[in-house]
Chain A
């Protein structure tokens, strides 16, 4: 029987009730008394010198309180980058200022030039159209390889468009090059990891609220990590001490990375609310989201794989150009480096790996972490080149992977790219995949497709990811400008209910349901005695927020630590109440008992004693039952798995249809299987979307061609199949108390290569032997051109 509560139960989500009845409280649902509205004037050209901004007509329009330009932010800082990378020679990366409103130059279409604050949204909109911006257009830098050759500079003062040229690990380079010289076979693949636009369904919103009475500020914002926004904006941009700044991220309608970052609009409304002495609200339109939310991916890569005669991997060498866009978004610089290079060994034993990444400024929207962040890019190139090598050498694609897997008895496994995998079983997830995807039945299904004139293909691949990036002291050495711990305060109330105040933030992940499952299990009380509070710096301890599939592995571990402190203190109280020795107290099913006796006292009585300490050891123990813990992981966690996709390709039109998709994942222990499956489904849809549909496209002048849902193909219900997902292969993480690994990004990381491998397989089996690669998205026109090219 499946469990019906606690760890391992598919508890239904309590947050659903408010979302299903229209009672969610998203940032745009908040309206403050007396609030004014902000509308930004944005650059319509990708690159240019600002000659003049004439605000006089706009300022004379009805309801306009003020028109802001960069002059109104003199003395304020730029939006900071959170990770400093050092290049191959040890020099720090080039790091331009990212002003709140453009200073002197505009650098991408959508760059904020001015902002109107008015009584109503309509008045602000009308006045924004009356602001006259005179710009001398300059040639736009769009193509990365052109950008580093010289010519126009995105940031004149930097003298180059090359942000950094990074080698990982530089000391591996000579041995890697040597291995290629002696290899039996080398497979080379050049590919593009297409630029994506995250498109959380809730557009960004920010409301600044300055109070003259207390000289303090509140920012309501659509953020995945309110504490980090408070720190970055307070300390680096606006010089507001943290005790005078509260950041609230209430219900947030999806993030996928795009709401990690500190955006200029947050700093704008916070500062503007003081200037106009009114709350200032900005609600992003979807069209504006396309132009201003940080984009994802956008790598151009050459990967080489060296093999011996039996298909054993000898060496991997990569060269990647990574687009930074016009400015460095908060974690932009870490994505193609430490979140990408560290995963280049994949699930395999390869003695030599060398990764080179050139990060490039262009006149495009800043690029930063999007679901998977660096790990999808690593997985895609590796799993594509392995498939190509298998074909070239005549080895079955599953067999070549099996030959190279890190074996179950080889953990902990030190890779050549710095990380140490703690545990895993890649053979087991591959075996499980073969079962759930019914690979034995593939030939029969292929014959059925052939009868309809369709080419059926099978794509299989593995993936590994690294979640819960840590520990803080190590990442600090690598250039991170933040800690990567998480926090939790567990407050027990006098009558026994608990509140968990966590630094993690839920924007769809279901923390309000899953976190109580853990505590309910630990104490032996019903889940509904436990509430989760998150998203407000005023009532949660300093935490790093939610991204990188870290919440349960890091935030959950902090909660376990705090709960263990609670239990330890509660046992002292119970020992006092039962006049027993503390060491003899056992906690089970919400009851403290004295070992070997029938004496017991229940959870509620101990909690009451803590707050009404009449019979209480006051001389040795403080009253109350509230504990805080910070947890800083000693290592990453390493979820891994194997995915299979079957497609049908219509050779007449190039149309690709996904027939089935199966995912066998090892997430370690699982707290709520229902939520975990849902996370995988969503990741798969985003990965299949990247592979089949989505592409952010710029023309040569830097105009975003895919700037709306009419032009940017989001996956819709009829583009996707029902998925087969399984997470029964479990090798628990060895270094966190829950043994969990994280499941939020796996689907998006593992699925793109499966789709493309399947399309190539279909074409190869269909006799189109010249087609060895098609870049994503594998649209009908690209497939048709490949067939007929």
Chain B
């Protein structure tokens, strides 16, 4: 079947089987390989994208179910001039990534948190990111990056 949606502000359409997952549609159909698949039980969160403004695990949504939706992926998070957005820049500034594989999902998940809760506590950040597994960073610098992107003094909070 043909599936149409808006991805990163552009109208797109492509062929999908009934069983095609949104993550496969984005990666294989549209070539947007920034969305990663790290597990098959909806646990790791590497595949998080925004569907109509909500963070969802794209490995757990059928492409057909996202028909007509407004989807944002990591490729849509930079500023219009191509420079890193505030949250992305905070991840670089605070060394919130190492191998980079969980990073797209981490950024998308954190962006959804900050949209709902612009000044989260460290505990709130940690709780929100429970569904995103990182094996490299031990989370320390990820939590700092999210706090910093919210305009808080991450170094001070981490040292307390």
Q: Are A718 and B100 in contact (CB under 8 A)?
A: no
**Among A23, A31, A685, which residue has its beta carbon within 8 angstroms of that of B138?**
A685
Taking the complex as formed, is B101 at the interface, i.e. its CB lies under 8 A from any CB of chain A?
yes
Complex contact B92–A678 (CB within 8 A):
no
Which has the most chain B C-beta neighbours within 10 Å: A203, A256, A677, A708?
Answer: A203
In the assembled complex, the CB of B7 is this many whole angstroms from the nearest CB of chain A, namely 12
Total CB contacts across the A-B interface at under 8 A: 184
Is B99 a contact partner of A21 (Cβ separation < 8 A)?
no
Contact B135 A686 (CB under 8 A): yes
- The answer to whether A13 touches B92, judged by C-beta atoms less than 8 angstroms apart, is yes
Smallest CB gap from B88: residue in A: A20
Cα(A286)–Cα(B36), bound, Å = 12
User: Could you tell me if A26 and B101 are in contact, using CB atoms closer than 8 angstroms?
Assistant: yes
B36/A717 in contact, CB under 8 A: no
Complex interface residues of chain A between 479 and 512 (CB less than 8 A to chain B): 507-510
Contact with B along A620-659 (1 / 0, CB 8 A): 0000000000000000000000000000000000000000
User: How many chain A residues touch the partner (CB < 8 A)?
Assistant: 58
B71 within 8 A of A: no
Contacts of B99 in A (CB 8 A): 200-202, 251-254, 507-508
Q: A717-B129, A723-B138 are in contact. Are A201 and B107 (CB under 8 A)?
A: no
A714 within 8 Å of B by Cβ?
A: yes
Q: Is the CB–CB distance between B130 and A716 below 8 Å? A: yes
Interface centre among A21, A252, A709, A717 (most CB of B within 10 A): A717
Complex Cα gap A507–B134 (Å): 14
Q: A510-B98, A718-B123 are in contact. Are A682 and B103 (CB under 8 A)?
A: no
CB-based contact A13/B34 at 8 Å: no
- Does the CB pair B92–A17 fall under 8 Å? yes
Max chain A C-beta neighbours (<10 A), residue from B17, B46, B97, B122: B97
| A199 adjacent to chain B (CB < 8 Å) | yes
Contact with B along A15-36 (1 / 0, CB 8 A): 1111111111110110100000
Query: What are the residues of chain B within 8 A of A31 when measuring CB–CB?
Result: 28
B101 touches A22 (CB 8 A): no
Structural contact, B100 and A15, CB atoms closer than 8 A? yes
For the complex, give the distance between the alpha carbons of A19 and B96 in Å.
11
Q: Are B98 and A20 in contact (CB under 8 A)?
A: no
Say if the beta carbon of A435 comes within 8 Å of chain B: no
Q: From residue A371, how far is it (CB to closest CB) to chain B in Å?
A: 10
Which residues of A, 688-729, contact B by the 8 Å Cβ criterion?
Answer: 708-710, 714-718, 720, 722-724
| Residue B10, interface by CB 8 Å | no
Residues of chain B with a CB closer than 8 A to A675's CB: 95
Query: In the assembled complex, how far is the CB of residue B65 from the closest CB belonging to chain A, in whole angstroms?
Result: 18
Whether, in the assembled complex, A287 has its beta carbon less than 8 Å from a beta carbon of chain B, the answer is yes
Query: Smallest CB–CB gap between A773 and chain B, Å?
Result: 26
Give Cα A21 to B81, complex, Å. Answer: 13
Known contacts A21-B78, A681-B141: does B92 contact A710 (CB below 8 Å)? no
Q: Is the CB of A22 within 8 A of B102?
A: no
Whether the pair A286, B40 counts as a contact (CB closer than 8 A) is: yes
Shortest CB distance B105–A (Å)? 9
Write the B17-50 contact mask toward A (1 if CB under 8 angstroms, else 0).
1010000000110001111111111011010000
Q: Complex Cα distance A332/B73, Å? A: 40
User: Chain B residue with minimal CB distance to A26?
Assistant: B101
Q: Which residue of A lies closest to B98 (CB)?
A: A508
Known: A17-B92, A709-B44, A716-B129. A254 touches B136 (CB 8 A): yes
Q: Please give me the residue from chain B that is nearest to A723 by CB atom.
A: B140
Known: A23-B34, A253-B36, A678-B98. A709 touches B126 (CB 8 A): no
- Of A17, A26, A122, A507, the contact of B36 (CB 8 Å cutoff): A26
Whether A20 lies near B92 (C-beta < 8 A) is yes
Any chain A CB within 8 A of the CB of B137?
yes
B63 within 8 A of A: no
Interface size class of B (residues with CB under 8 A): 35 or more
The smallest C-beta distance from B30 to any residue of chain A, in angstroms, reads: 12
- Separation in Å of the A707 CB from the closest CB of chain B? 10
Q: How far is the CA of A239 from the CA of B160 in the complex (A)?
A: 59
Answer whether residue A244 sits at the interface, using C-beta atoms and an 8 A cutoff: no
**Which B residues are CB-close (under 8 A) to A568?**
none
Q: Which of A122, A251, A678, A708 has most B Cβ within 10 Å?
A: A678
Segment 83-110 of B: residues with Cβ below 8 Å from A: 84, 88, 91-93, 95, 97-104, 107
Known contacts A20-B97, A21-B88, A682-B136; A286/B41 CB under 8 A = yes
Q: Tell me, yes or no, whether A12 is within 8 Å of chain B by CB.
A: yes
Query: Closest CB of chain A to B70's CB: distance in Å?
Result: 18
Question: What are the residues of chain A within 8 A of B158 when measuring CB–CB?
Answer: 722
Q: Tell me, in angstroms, the Cα distance from A681 to B144 when the chains sit together.
A: 13
**What is the bound-complex CA distance between A678 and B129, given in angstroms?**
18
B103 proximity list for chain A (CB < 8 A): 19-20
Chain A residues lying within 8 Å of B129, measured Cβ to Cβ, are 716-718
Q: Is A328 an interface residue (CB 8 A)?
A: no
**A717-B75 contact in complex given A674-B95, A710-B41, C-beta closer than 8 Å:** no
Residues of chain B touching chain A, judged by Cβ–Cβ distance below 8 Å, are 17, 19, 27-28, 32-41, 43-44, 46, 73-75, 77-78, 84, 88, 91-93, 95, 97-104, 107, 122-123, 125-127, 129-130, 132-143, 157-160
17 contacts between A and B (CB under 8 A): A13-B97, A18-B100, A20-B107, A22-B35, A22-B75, A23-B75, A24-B100, A28-B37, A201-B136, A202-B99, A286-B41, A681-B141, A683-B138, A709-B44, A716-B133, A720-B140, A747-B138
In the A-B complex, list the 10 residue pairs whose CB atoms are closest, starting with the nearest: A22-B34, A19-B100, A253-B101, A685-B138, A508-B99, A709-B43, A508-B98, A681-B138, A286-B39, A22-B74
Q: A16-B92, A200-B99, A682-B136 are in contact. List 7 more A-B contacts (CB 8 A).
A: A16-B91, A16-B97, A22-B74, A253-B101, A287-B40, A714-B135, A722-B140
